Amino acid sequence: MNPKIEKLIKQFAKLPRLGSRAAQRIVLSLLQDKTGRAISLANALIDAAETIKPCPVCGTLTDIELGMCEMCRDAARANGQLCVVRDLADVWTLEKSAVFHGRYHILGGLISGVSGMMPEDLNIANLSERLKKECITEVIFALPNTVEGKTTQHYIMSMIGDVSGVKFSELASGVPLGGDLDYLDDGTLTLAFGGRKTL
């Protein structure tokens, strides 16, 4: 096999949920395409890599020229609710289901002794200040129903528990033990948000 093609397949195979066979099919499709799709994809990737960065407020990805992301700039989302999630995939899942209309806070992972993820590795430091500045009245934890998710939730509650007037809630029924938001359907998410319980 041509070394350039082999290198490209290896790069695609490193992507989550893609094995070497899927990577081979993608590379083959792109290189045999006569419409210039490979060049368009490469240009789009370069543009995104150079201009898309985490929002300085919530952590979601946004165009660096805009500063804050669209959700943080949207005044209609300043409804006093802040949803704490593990990563951007969770935000996309919740946005697709349209069950939440407030603002988000992306942690960038979960506290885990096994994987070496500590509180200082997460986007937690500015959370207390954010609650006060944005007049947040409810923090909704939409974290995985796992040991790591619960540990992270309890740690954050202990860190920001002194902020007055803030209630804590978590997603209710419909989220199975050990479940990730990424795998839940819209109906289950709607049930979980509607039945969230105060902590």
Q: Where along the chain do its domains lie?
A: 3-53, 74-198
pLDDT at 175: 57
pLDDT at 185: 67
pLDDT at 46: 94
Cα 13 to chain center, whole Å?
A: 22
pLDDT at 122: 94
How many angstroms separate the CA atoms of 128 and 138, rounded? 13
Q: Both tokens of residue 125?
A: 């430091």
Q: Both tokens of residue 135?
A: 């007049």
How many angstroms separate the CA atoms of 180 and 21, rounded? 26
pTM of the model: 0.76
pLDDT at 102: 95
pLDDT at 191: 63
In words, the CATH class of domain 3-53 is mainly alpha
pLDDT along the chain (199 residues), means of 10: 89 89 92 88 92 93 89 93 95 91 95 89 91 93 89 91 83 63 69 67
Q: What is the third-level CATH fold of 74-198? A: Dna Topoisomerase Vi A Subunit; Chain: A, domain 2 (3.40.1360)
Q: Closest by alpha carbon to 136, among 56, 58, 53, 55?
A: 58
